Amino acid sequence: MLIMARLRLRLTASGTFCVMLCASSAFAIETQPSQHQIRAALDRGAEAAKQHQPPDTFYTRFGATDDLHASGFLITKLAALSVMATHMGLRGVEPSEADIAQTLHGTTMLVSATIFGNLPTFAVDSYMVLEQGGTTVKPVTVRFDGMASRSSAWPESPRFKAKVVASFAYADFDPAAQTTISIFPANGGEVSFPIDFSQIK
Protein backbone atom coordinates (compact mmCIF):
# COMPACT_ATOMS: atom_id res chain seq x y z
CA MET A 1 0.00 0.00 0.00
CA LEU A 2 1.78 3.12 -1.25
CA ILE A 3 0.35 5.50 1.34
CA MET A 4 1.32 3.23 4.22
CA ALA A 5 4.83 2.78 2.76
CA ARG A 6 5.25 6.55 2.61
CA LEU A 7 3.84 6.90 6.11
CA ARG A 8 6.33 4.34 7.44
CA LEU A 9 9.20 6.22 5.83
CA ARG A 10 7.95 9.52 7.16
CA LEU A 11 7.50 8.15 10.67
CA THR A 12 10.98 6.62 10.65
CA ALA A 13 12.83 9.48 9.03
CA SER A 14 11.25 12.56 10.54
CA GLY A 15 10.25 11.43 13.99
CA THR A 16 7.07 13.47 13.56
CA PHE A 17 5.13 10.94 15.57
CA CYS A 18 6.23 8.86 18.53
CA VAL A 19 7.38 5.41 17.45
CA MET A 20 8.02 3.96 20.89
CA LEU A 21 5.72 1.24 22.15
CA CYS A 22 4.24 1.72 25.57
CA ALA A 23 6.15 -0.67 27.84
CA SER A 24 4.17 -0.13 31.00
CA SER A 25 0.79 -1.45 29.86
CA ALA A 26 -0.68 -3.55 27.08
CA PHE A 27 -3.73 -1.29 27.01
CA ALA A 28 -4.57 2.34 27.80
CA ILE A 29 -5.59 5.37 25.81
CA GLU A 30 -2.63 5.93 23.52
CA THR A 31 -1.84 9.63 23.19
CA GLN A 32 1.26 9.13 21.01
CA PRO A 33 0.65 6.01 18.92
CA SER A 34 3.62 4.09 17.56
CA GLN A 35 4.10 3.37 13.88
CA HIS A 36 2.95 -0.20 14.47
CA GLN A 37 -0.20 0.94 16.28
CA ILE A 38 -1.04 3.43 13.56
CA ARG A 39 -0.69 0.83 10.84
CA ALA A 40 -2.75 -1.71 12.81
CA ALA A 41 -5.55 0.82 13.42
CA LEU A 42 -5.74 1.69 9.73
CA ASP A 43 -5.72 -1.97 8.78
CA ARG A 44 -8.57 -2.68 11.21
CA GLY A 45 -10.63 0.04 9.59
CA ALA A 46 -9.88 -1.21 6.10
CA GLU A 47 -10.87 -4.73 7.09
CA ALA A 48 -14.08 -3.47 8.71
CA ALA A 49 -14.97 -1.73 5.45
CA LYS A 50 -14.43 -4.97 3.54
CA GLN A 51 -16.82 -6.68 5.97
CA HIS A 52 -19.31 -3.78 5.59
CA GLN A 53 -19.16 -3.06 9.32
CA PRO A 54 -20.22 0.40 10.55
CA PRO A 55 -17.44 2.85 11.53
CA ASP A 56 -18.85 3.21 15.05
CA THR A 57 -17.71 -0.37 15.71
CA PHE A 58 -14.51 1.24 17.01
CA TYR A 59 -16.11 3.54 19.58
CA THR A 60 -15.45 2.73 23.23
CA ARG A 61 -18.93 2.53 24.72
CA PHE A 62 -20.05 2.93 28.32
CA GLY A 63 -23.32 2.91 30.26
CA ALA A 64 -26.55 1.12 29.43
CA THR A 65 -27.13 -0.93 26.30
CA ASP A 66 -30.87 -0.20 26.03
CA ASP A 67 -32.45 2.98 24.66
CA LEU A 68 -34.03 4.28 27.87
CA HIS A 69 -31.01 4.63 30.16
CA ALA A 70 -27.96 6.86 29.98
CA SER A 71 -25.04 5.73 27.85
CA GLY A 72 -22.26 7.09 25.73
CA PHE A 73 -18.98 6.58 23.92
CA LEU A 74 -15.53 8.04 23.56
CA ILE A 75 -13.16 8.08 20.59
CA THR A 76 -9.41 7.71 21.05
CA LYS A 77 -6.78 8.61 18.45
CA LEU A 78 -6.37 4.99 17.36
CA ALA A 79 -10.13 4.51 17.19
CA ALA A 80 -10.43 7.69 15.14
CA LEU A 81 -7.93 6.27 12.65
CA SER A 82 -9.95 3.06 12.36
CA VAL A 83 -13.20 5.01 12.00
CA MET A 84 -11.69 7.16 9.27
CA ALA A 85 -10.26 4.15 7.43
CA THR A 86 -13.65 2.44 7.60
CA HIS A 87 -15.52 5.48 6.30
CA MET A 88 -13.11 5.89 3.41
CA GLY A 89 -12.86 2.17 2.72
CA LEU A 90 -16.63 1.99 2.31
CA ARG A 91 -16.23 4.61 -0.43
CA GLY A 92 -13.41 2.69 -2.05
CA VAL A 93 -10.59 5.09 -1.12
CA GLU A 94 -7.73 5.18 1.40
CA PRO A 95 -6.86 7.86 3.97
CA SER A 96 -4.22 10.29 2.73
CA GLU A 97 -1.10 11.14 4.70
CA ALA A 98 -2.68 14.50 5.50
CA ASP A 99 -5.82 12.81 6.84
CA ILE A 100 -3.73 10.55 9.06
CA ALA A 101 -1.51 13.38 10.28
CA GLN A 102 -4.51 15.55 11.15
CA THR A 103 -5.96 12.79 13.33
CA LEU A 104 -2.66 12.08 15.05
CA HIS A 105 -2.04 15.74 15.79
CA GLY A 106 -5.39 16.06 17.56
CA THR A 107 -4.98 17.34 21.11
CA THR A 108 -8.37 16.35 22.53
CA MET A 109 -10.48 13.24 23.04
CA LEU A 110 -14.21 13.38 22.33
CA VAL A 111 -16.68 12.00 24.89
CA SER A 112 -20.38 11.84 24.00
CA ALA A 113 -23.19 10.91 26.39
CA THR A 114 -26.94 10.49 25.95
CA ILE A 115 -28.97 11.43 29.01
CA PHE A 116 -32.70 11.47 29.77
CA GLY A 117 -35.16 13.95 31.26
CA ASN A 118 -38.78 15.03 31.20
CA LEU A 119 -38.50 18.52 29.70
CA PRO A 120 -37.43 19.28 26.13
CA THR A 121 -34.80 21.76 27.38
CA PHE A 122 -33.51 19.66 30.27
CA ALA A 123 -29.99 19.32 28.82
CA VAL A 124 -29.37 23.04 28.31
CA ASP A 125 -26.21 24.19 30.13
CA SER A 126 -25.23 20.63 31.04
CA TYR A 127 -21.59 20.10 32.00
CA MET A 128 -19.21 17.13 31.89
CA VAL A 129 -16.03 16.31 33.82
CA LEU A 130 -13.65 13.40 34.36
CA GLU A 131 -12.91 12.29 37.92
CA GLN A 132 -9.59 10.52 38.40
CA GLY A 133 -8.32 9.63 41.85
CA GLY A 134 -9.65 12.77 43.48
CA THR A 135 -8.70 15.01 40.56
CA THR A 136 -11.40 16.72 38.52
CA VAL A 137 -10.52 17.16 34.85
CA LYS A 138 -12.47 19.93 33.13
CA PRO A 139 -13.28 19.83 29.40
CA VAL A 140 -11.89 22.13 26.74
CA THR A 141 -15.33 22.39 25.14
CA VAL A 142 -18.86 21.23 25.98
CA ARG A 143 -21.93 21.28 23.79
CA PHE A 144 -25.44 19.97 24.36
CA ASP A 145 -28.79 19.60 22.67
CA GLY A 146 -30.80 22.76 23.16
CA MET A 147 -33.97 20.86 22.36
CA ALA A 148 -34.10 17.21 23.34
CA SER A 149 -35.78 14.62 21.16
CA ARG A 150 -38.56 12.32 22.28
CA SER A 151 -37.46 9.06 23.86
CA SER A 152 -38.94 5.68 23.02
CA ALA A 153 -40.91 5.92 26.29
CA TRP A 154 -42.86 9.02 25.20
CA PRO A 155 -45.29 10.11 26.61
CA GLU A 156 -44.18 8.16 29.68
CA SER A 157 -41.06 9.03 31.70
CA PRO A 158 -38.33 9.57 30.70
CA ARG A 159 -39.92 11.54 27.89
CA PHE A 160 -36.85 13.10 26.31
CA LYS A 161 -33.24 12.24 25.45
CA ALA A 162 -30.38 14.58 24.64
CA LYS A 163 -26.68 14.46 23.89
CA VAL A 164 -23.92 16.14 25.85
CA VAL A 165 -20.58 16.14 24.05
CA ALA A 166 -17.26 17.26 25.54
CA SER A 167 -13.63 17.36 24.44
CA PHE A 168 -10.84 16.73 26.95
CA ALA A 169 -7.20 17.65 26.36
CA TYR A 170 -4.94 14.59 26.38
CA ALA A 171 -2.45 16.63 28.41
CA ASP A 172 -4.99 17.11 31.21
CA PHE A 173 -5.92 13.53 32.11
CA ASP A 174 -4.24 10.22 32.96
CA PRO A 175 -4.76 7.91 29.94
CA ALA A 176 -4.42 4.78 32.10
CA ALA A 177 -6.47 5.69 35.18
CA GLN A 178 -9.69 4.40 36.64
CA THR A 179 -12.07 7.20 35.67
CA THR A 180 -15.60 8.39 36.28
CA ILE A 181 -17.30 10.38 33.54
CA SER A 182 -19.83 12.69 35.21
CA ILE A 183 -22.54 14.78 33.55
CA PHE A 184 -24.36 17.51 35.44
CA PRO A 185 -27.65 18.70 33.90
CA ALA A 186 -28.42 22.34 34.70
CA ASN A 187 -31.66 21.44 36.50
CA GLY A 188 -29.76 19.32 39.04
CA GLY A 189 -28.68 15.77 39.49
CA GLU A 190 -25.72 13.84 38.16
CA VAL A 191 -25.21 11.02 35.68
CA SER A 192 -21.98 9.05 36.18
CA PHE A 193 -20.19 6.31 34.28
CA PRO A 194 -17.21 4.43 35.71
CA ILE A 195 -14.66 3.43 33.07
CA ASP A 196 -11.12 2.07 33.33
CA PHE A 197 -8.96 3.87 30.79
CA SER A 198 -6.22 1.26 31.23
CA GLN A 199 -8.50 -1.34 29.61
CA ILE A 200 -9.13 0.64 26.45
CA LYS A 201 -7.29 -0.76 23.45
- Exposure class string for 99-124: b at 16+ Cβ within 10 A, else e: bbeebbeeeebbbbbbbbbeebbbbb
- What pLDDT, on a 0 to 100 scale, did the predictor assign at position 10? 36
Mean pLDDT by 10 residues, the chain (201 residues): 39 31 54 93 95 94 94 96 95 91 94 96 96 97 96 95 97 96 91 95 70
- What pLDDT, on a 0 to 100 scale, did the predictor assign at position 2? 36
Angle, in degrees to the nearest 10, between helices 35-50 and 97-104: 120
- What pLDDT, on a 0 to 100 scale, did the predictor assign at position 128? 98
In sequence order, what are the beta bridge partners of 169? 108
- What pLDDT, on a 0 to 100 scale, did the predictor assign at position 49? 95
H or E segment and range at residue 116: strand 108-117
- What pLDDT, on a 0 to 100 scale, did the predictor assign at position 21? 31
- What pLDDT, on a 0 to 100 scale, did the predictor assign at position 27? 57
- What pLDDT, on a 0 to 100 scale, did the predictor assign at position 72? 97
Residue 16 contacts by C-beta under 8 Å, 6 or more apart in sequence?
A: 10, 101
Fold of 107-201: Immunoglobulin-like (2.60.40)
Q: Is this prediction's pTM over 0.85?
A: no
- What pLDDT, on a 0 to 100 scale, did the predictor assign at position 55? 94
Alpha-carbon distance of 23 to 10, in angstroms, equals: 23
- What pLDDT, on a 0 to 100 scale, did the predictor assign at position 59? 96
- What pLDDT, on a 0 to 100 scale, did the predictor assign at position 5? 39
- What pLDDT, on a 0 to 100 scale, did the predictor assign at position 22? 33
- Looking at the chain, the domain(s) classified CATH 2.60.40 span 107-201
Nearest to 117 by CA among 183, 161, 164: 161
Alpha-carbon distance of 24 to 47, in angstroms, equals: 29
Residue 5 exposed, middle or buried by CB count within 10 Å (0-12, 13-18, 19+):
exposed
